[in-house]
Chains A and B, each alone.
Chain A
Amino acid sequence: LPSLSLSFLIQLQEAFSKGLLKPGLNVPLEEPKKAVNNIEGLKMCLAEFKKNLPWVERLDLTNHPAVDVLAKIEGTLNKKQSSGEIDAEDDFQREMYFYRQAQATVLEALPKLKKLQIPTKRPDDYFAEMAKTDQHMQKVRKKLMQKQMAIEKSEKAKKLREQRKFGKKVQVEVLQKRQKAKKAMMTAVKKYQKGMTDKLDFLEGDQEGKKGSTASKSQMSKKGPNAKRKYKDQKFGFGGKKKGSKWNTKESFNDVSGFRAKTAHGKGGKKFNKGGKKNKRPGKETRRKMKARK
Chain B
Amino acid sequence: VTIANDLLLFFDQENVSLLVLPDLSGKWKNKERVLVFSSRGINFRTRHLMQDLKTMMPHSKADTKMDRKDKLFVVNEVCEIKNCNKCIFFEAKKNMDLYMWVSNVPHGPSAKFLVQNVHTLAELKMTGNCLKGSRPLLSFDPKFDKEPHYALLKELFTQTFSTPQYHPKSQPFVDHVLTFTIADKRIWFRNYQIIEEDASLVEIGPRFVLNLIKIFQGSFGGPTLYENPHFQSPNMCRRLMRMEKAARQKERQMVKEIRLEKRKEVKEVLTEDVTDDVFVTPAEEKPKEVEHEAPRPSKSKKKKKLKLTELKKRTLLKRKGLR
A86–B182 Cα distance when bound, in Å, is 9
**B81 at interface (Cβ–Cβ under 8 A)?**
no
In contact, A131 and B55 (Cβ under 8 angstroms): yes
- The reply to whether A49 and B190 contact each other, CB–CB distance below 8 Å, is no
Tell whether B322 is near chain A: CB-to-CB under 8 Å: no
B188 near A98 with CB under 8 A, answer yes
Which residues of A have CB within 8 Å of B190? 98, 102
The complex places the Cα of A120 from the Cα of B142 at a distance, in Å, of 25
The listed residue (A97, A121, A128) touching B20 by CB distance below 8 A is A128
User: How would you classify the secondary structure of chain B's contact residues: helix, strand, loop or mixed?
Assistant: mixed
Complex interface residues of chain A between 123 and 155 (CB less than 8 A to chain B): 124, 126-132, 134, 136-141, 143-144
Interface residues of A (CB under 8 A from B): 35-39, 41-43, 45-46, 48-51, 53, 56-64, 66, 84, 86, 88, 94, 97-99, 101-107, 109-110, 113, 118-122, 124, 126-132, 134, 136-141, 143-144
CA distance in complex: A138, B2 (Å): 11
In the complex, chain A residues whose CB is within 8 Å of the CB of B243: none
- Min CB–CB distance B198 → chain A (angstroms): 8
B217–A98 CB distance below 8 A: no
**Would you list 7 pairs from A and B whose C-beta atoms are within 8 A, ordered by A residue?**
A36-B225, A56-B165, A104-B199, A122-B5, A126-B19, A132-B204, A140-B124
* CB neighbours of A42 from chain B (8 A): 148-149, 151-152, 215, 225-226
Q: Which residues of A contact B159 (CB under 8 A)?
A: 51, 58
Q: Which residues of B contact A101 (CB under 8 A)?
A: 139, 141, 179, 181
B144 CB to nearest chain A CB (Å)? 6
- Which residue of A39, A45, A58, A139 is within 8 Å of B162 (Cβ)? A58
Knowing A46-B151, A60-B138, A106-B194 are in contact, say whether A139-B124 is a contact too (CB < 8 A).
yes
Min CB distance, B305 to chain A, in Å?
A: 64
Q: Are B130 and A130 in contact (CB under 8 A)?
A: yes
**Residue numbers in B under 8 Å from A121 (CB-CB):** 173, 197
Q: Does B38 have its Cβ within 8 Å of any Cβ on chain A?
A: no
Q: B124 near A106 (CB under 8 angstroms)? A: no
Residues on B with beta carbons closer than 8 Å to the beta carbon of A94 = 183, 188
For the complex, give the distance between the alpha carbons of A19 and B50 in Å. Answer: 63
Contact A129 B130 (CB under 8 A): no
Contact A60 B140 (CB under 8 A): yes
Which of B135, B148, B223, B228 makes the CB contact (< 8 A) with A46? B148
Closest residue of chain A to B174 (Cβ to Cβ) is A120
A131 touches B131 (CB 8 A): yes
How close is A285's CB to chain B, nearest CB, in angstroms? 97
Interface centre among B136, B144, B171, by most chain A C-beta atoms within 10 angstroms, is B171
**A48–chain B nearest beta-carbon distance, Å:** 8
A102 to B156, CA, bound (A): 20
Bound Cα distance A109, B154 (Å): 18
Q: Cβ of A49 and Cβ of B155 under 8 Å apart?
A: yes
Q: Which residues of B contact A110 (CB under 8 A)?
A: 197, 199
Given the contacts A86-B181, A128-B18, A131-B132, A137 and B2 also touching, CB distance less than 8 Å: yes
With A49-B104, A119-B172, A139-B124 as contacts: A102 and B226 at CB distance below 8 Å: no
In the complex, chain B residues whose CB is within 8 Å of the CB of A37: 149, 226-227
User: Nearest-CB distance from A65 to chain B (Å)?
Assistant: 9
Q: Which residues of chain B are near A53, meaning CB under 8 Å?
A: 30
B232 CB within 8 Å of chain A? no
Whether a CB of chain A sits under 8 angstroms from the CB of B34 is no
Which of B122, B175, B186, B217 contacts A122 (CB under 8 A)?
B175
Cβ contact within 8 Å between A61 and B129 = no
Closest to B224 in A: A36
Partner of B192, one of A36, A57, A99: A99
Do residues B108 and A128 form an inter-chain contact, with CB atoms below 8 A? no
Instruction: Give bound CA distance, A136 to B130, whole Å.
Output: 13
